[in-house]
Each structure stands twice: as C-alpha cells, then as structure tokens.
Amino acid sequence: MDTNRTFTLVPPARLEGYGVRLRPWADGDLADLVALYDDPEMARWTPVASPFDTEAARAYLAGAQEGQAEGRKVQLAITTDGVLPLGEVLLFRSAANERDLELAYGVGPAHRGQGLAGRAVRLAAEYALREIRPRRVVLCIAAGNAASEAVARSCAFELADEPPVRRVSRGREVVLRTWRLRTSPLRTSRLPT
C-alpha cells in the first residue's frame, strides 16, 4: 500500500453488515435529520448547528452533497432497514494528515444504547481499509466523551501518542484526541452490544 498518497472519496451505494445498513442521505430525510441532530448531546459533542431545525438540516444536507461531489467526504445514514435514519457515520480526509481517513459518527437520542455507532464504525472502517486504503483510519474524540471513547475501544481503535487536534466549533475551541485503528483485523475484536 502506498501510504504517501492522498485519496478521493467515492460514496458506496450502500454498505451492509453487523445488522446495519449505511446509505447516502436523500432530500426526503430532512425531518429525520432534525430528529437526530436537534439534541443537547449532539450539540455538545458535534459541530452541527444548534438548535438544529429544518433550515439547518437543508444546509447540512447541501454541505454533505457538496463535500461528496468534491471527493472530500462521504456522509451515510445509519439504518437497520435501509430506510429510516437512526444516526450517521462520516468518512473524510483528516485535516491533520490528508493521507489519513477520519471517521465521525452520531446516533439520534431515541436510538442510543443499541450498539448502532459501533456497528456503523466497524462497517465503515472495514470498507475504508478494503476500498480506500488510507495510511491510517482515525477518530478524533473530545476528552470526556466517554460514550465515543467506548465505541472507539470496542472497534479496535487505540489512543494515539500524538498532540491533541484543535478545532473551532460554533465559535469555541474544541480539543480532540486522536484514536487510530489498530492493525489487527477488525473482525477479531468484540462487537459492541
């Protein structure tokens, strides 16, 4: 594998495994986006607008489509039936190193505690390793986000020994720690329940 190359992200039509189906967002998903992202926990840990209303959902969907068209990112709805969005997983070039693929995720408040984030991250990471072949697959998680750190551990990610990543989100600086996917196969790791 050439670890010095950058990559262009091309969205899969669908990804399926571990009891989840990942699919691209559709124009008809605006109300579902609002239900997922208009939540205090999403506002606390993600850079999405807060409050997250229909207008914010339109802008978010337009940004997702623009990023996809430019080959910079892929945003996929997490579903169990291929239709109803329960959350989202994102794949994008890391700002810290464009040879790394960063994953991010969120699950709507009504759907937490079902292992959806872990299953979606596992599926997206396997897809990335198989099809995109980045130098590394990473997660950037705010210190104190215990739920996301638990997902990272359960999906074979380990805390990387590198300086924190600093980003500005809604006018405030956020300090994130980098987690890297271990080299051991994902399928041998314990799947979150």
In a domain, 5, yes or no: no
Query: Domain containing 34 — which CATH number?
Result: 3.40.630.30
In a domain, 30, yes or no: yes
In a domain, 170, yes or no: yes
In a domain, 2, yes or no: no
SS3 (DSSP) at 59: helix
Quick one: average pLDDT of 93-119?
A: 94
Separation between Cα atoms, residue 182 and residue 156, nearest integer Å: 6
Q: Tell me the residue range of the domain where 57 lies.
A: 15-184
On the question of a cis peptide bond just before residue 51, with omega within 30 degrees of 0, the verdict is yes
In a domain, 122, yes or no: yes
- The structural domain count of the chain equals 1
Is the pTM above the cut of 0.85? yes
Query: How many other C-beta atoms lie within 10 A of the C-beta of residue 132?
Result: 16
Lowest mean pLDDT among 56-65, 113-122, 163-172: 163-172
In a domain, 10, yes or no: no
